[in-house]
């Protein structure tokens, strides 16, 4: 593991204005694109491993400082991330979740078995009220996944009524008795999850009929009505095609899942740390392929929904490695390195380019599971490189995307595989400033980049860089700040701005006039 000396790095970069530029980034502020919906930076929290229990929820009686059961340290760190949206309770868990088991006095809730994830006991301590308490503390929108697989239209419609009714119905009164006077704000409601697999092994044609059946009964007062999401596919655009053809007017979005696996082989996925450069490359190359997947899905939407009423919601994505040795294989706990931050940033740049159709994404998952923001160990907590990437990109939430063109991009090559050396994205943020994100995918070589903003003099840039000496640089409970962002700045010389982007780095800067 390597430690970046931030002051040394910053000085080195400030001094390093190259005489020539290998790559030119052209930004055109006069041709604004779609707004990057803040929910593109959404999170996913499933009842899986220590993702919720231990990682976030410790219960009000815990010695670990908490607010009504939610860990203060973790909630505080997530608040700083400005988490815009949280998806809950699954994942595969959602299609075996019965909401009535998660309300009322916690000591009376039934204990179940989490059959999807490790076969461990599910106490139901975190239910509807606890989830909304967390979301409200975070100031986040909510995305609740309903049980299509083992539920019924009645169970689903009653959950909607329980959460959203402002009447004096028995269910609304039960909600009040359980401590919540006014309706909960359910922003999105998903009908099932991965219905092609863990959610019921259905065909898309069968799902469309079931969705129509369930959706008919999801009634709520207009001001509390959630946007209803259809659960889509993975790997091809078949589900998006069938669903967008069959669900006109009945959904605001179709979900899509895309996981990045270094080897592409689910049986031996590759390690989270200590990997060879070939797996740095294969991981990044596989991550970049999401662009093709999005284009294929968007093509299906363009065909069936040219009015752009249906969004593509990538409500699960991220890296998936072999679990850490010594941990429960069903808990999907993995370390998180600089490679994950680079993967996240590459995704963000791609999502921005599709901002008109991709209006929500949810990384899997928020804490302790897969590509997490935060890892915990008892009362300890650390922020991962992925957390830092999310924080650096906060200005892109609800910013207006700007077209970016790369001239003379360099190539990063390992064996027969090659990918672009530089990835970039630009946007006009809500604070009025122009922000630029640049990723150098090459773990060995820095890249000289010239910035050219049409119709604007650029005097300099300032922001942050995330990099390290090792590809698998990561934080541990002993060295929590082994990798963290450092300041990054550069000034124009003779009206020309050149940036030296370190090897394997994520840079986000505001552009100064």
Sign of torsion, CA 369 148 135 392? Answer: positive
| Angle, CA 323 vertex, CA 419 and CA 78 arms, to 5° | 80
Q: What is the nearest approach in angstroms of ligand AHR to the Cβ of residue 6?
A: 33
Q: How far apart are CA 136 and CA 132, in angstroms?
A: 6
Tokens read off for 82: 């400005």
- Label residues 400-425 b or e (16+ Cβ within 10 Å = b): bbbebebeebbebebeeeebbbbbbb
What residue is closest to ligand AHR based on CB? 91
Nearer to ligand AHR, 305 or 340 (CB): 340
Q: How far apart are CA 280 and CA 264, in angstroms?
A: 13
| Helix, coil or strand: residue 60 | coil
Is 194 one of the catalytic residues?
yes
Nearer to ligand AHR, 90 or 485 (CB): 90
CB contact set of 96 (below 8 Å; sequence gap of 6+): 115, 116, 147, 149, 150
Is 46 one of the catalytic residues?
no
Backbone angles phi, psi at 44, to 5 degrees: -135, 125
Nearer to ligand AHR, 240 or 365 (CB): 365
Q: How far apart are CA 413 and CA 410, in angstroms?
A: 10
Q: How far apart are CA 36 and CA 52, in angstroms?
A: 28
Catalytic residue (choose from 122, 130, 194, 215)? 194
How far from 309 is each of 220, 248, 301, 312, 350, CA to CA, in Å? 21, 9, 9, 10, 21
Residues near ligand AHR, by CB under 6 A: 46, 90-92, 193-194, 316, 364-365, 370
Helix 338-353, helix 277-288: angle, nearest 10: 20
Nearer to ligand AHR, 321 or 412 (CB): 321
Catalytic residue (choose from 122, 130, 161, 316)? 316
Q: Which helix (H) or strand (E) holds 464?
A: strand 460-466
Question: Which of the 8 DSSP states describes residue 139?
Answer: T
Question: Which of the 8 DSSP states describes residue 385?
Answer: H
Q: How far apart are CA 297 and CA 357, in angstroms?
A: 10
| Helix, coil or strand: residue 35 | strand
Nearer to ligand AHR, 162 or 331 (CB): 331
Q: How far apart are CA 77 and CA 82, in angstroms?
A: 9
Nearest to 55 by CA among 78, 74, 77, 83: 74
Q: What is the nearest approach in angstroms of ligand AHR to the Cβ of residue 188?
A: 16
- The alpha carbon of residue 477 and the mean position of all alpha carbons in its chain are separated, in whole angstroms, by 24
Active-site residue numbers? 194, 316
């Amino acid at each position: 593991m390597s430690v970046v000396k931030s002051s040394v790095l910053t000085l080195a970069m400030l001094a390093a204005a190259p005489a020539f530029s290998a790559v030119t980034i052209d930004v055109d502020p006069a041709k604004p694109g779609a707004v990057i919906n803040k929910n593109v930076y959404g999170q996913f929290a499933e009842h899986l491993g220590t993702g919720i229990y231990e990682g976030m929820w410790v219960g009000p009686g815990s010695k670990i400082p908490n607010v009504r059961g939610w860990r203060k340290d973790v909630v505080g760190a997530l608040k700083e991330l400005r988490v815009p949206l949280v998806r809950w309770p699954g994942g595969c868990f959602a299609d075996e979740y019965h909401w009535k088991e998660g309300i009322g006095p916690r000591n009376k809730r039934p204990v179940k078995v989490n059959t999807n994830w490790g076969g461990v006991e599910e106490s139901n301590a975190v239910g509807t009220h606890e989830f909304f308490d967390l979301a409200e503390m975070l100031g986040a929108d909510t995305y609740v996944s309903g049980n299509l697989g083992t539920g019924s239209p009645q169970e689903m419609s009653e959950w909607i009524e329980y959460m959203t009714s402002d009447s004096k119905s028995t269910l609304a009164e039960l909600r009040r008795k359980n401590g919540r006077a006014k309706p909960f704000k359910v922003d999105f409601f998903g009908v099932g999850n991965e219905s092609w697999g863990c959610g019921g092994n259905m065909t898309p044609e069968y799902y469309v009929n079931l969705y129509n059946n369930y959706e008919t009964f999801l009634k709520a007062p207009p001001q509390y009505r959630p946007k209803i999401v259809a659960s889509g596919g993975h790997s091809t655009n078949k589900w998006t095609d069938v669903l967008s053809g069959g669900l006109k007017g009945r959904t605001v979005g179709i979900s899509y899942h895309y996981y990045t696996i270094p080897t592409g082989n689910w049986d031996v996925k590759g390690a989270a740390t200590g990997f060879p450069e070939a797996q740095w490359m294969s991981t990044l190359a596989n991550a970049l392929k999401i662009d093709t997947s999005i284009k294929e899905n968007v093509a299906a939407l363009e065909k069936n929904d040219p009015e752009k009423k249906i969004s593509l919601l990538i409500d699960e994505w991220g890296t998936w490695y072999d679990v850490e040795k010594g941990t429960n294989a069903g808990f999907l706990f993995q370390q998180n390195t600089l490679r994950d931050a680079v993967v996240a940033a590459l995704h963000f740049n791609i999502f921005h380019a599709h901002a008109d159709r991709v209006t929500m994404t949810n990384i899997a998952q928020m804490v302790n599971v897969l590509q997490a923001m935060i890892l915990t160990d008892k009362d300890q907590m650390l922020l991962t490189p992925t957390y830092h990437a999310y924080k650096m990109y906060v200005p892109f939430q609800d910013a207006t995307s700007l077209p970016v063109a790369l001239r003379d991009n360099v190539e990063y090559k390992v064996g027969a595989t090659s990918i672009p050396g530089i990835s970039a994205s630009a946007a006009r943020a809500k604070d009025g400033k122009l922000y630029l994100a640049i990723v150098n995918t090459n773990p060995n070589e820095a890249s000289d980049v010239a910035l050219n903003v049409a119709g604007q003099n650029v005097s300099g840039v300032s922001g942050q860089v995330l990099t390290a000496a090792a590809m698998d640089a990561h934080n541990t409970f002993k060295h929590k700040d082994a990798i963290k962002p450092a300041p990054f700045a550069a000034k124009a010389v003779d009206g020309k701005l050149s940036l030296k982007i370190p090897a394997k780095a994520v840079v986000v800067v505001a552009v100064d006039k």
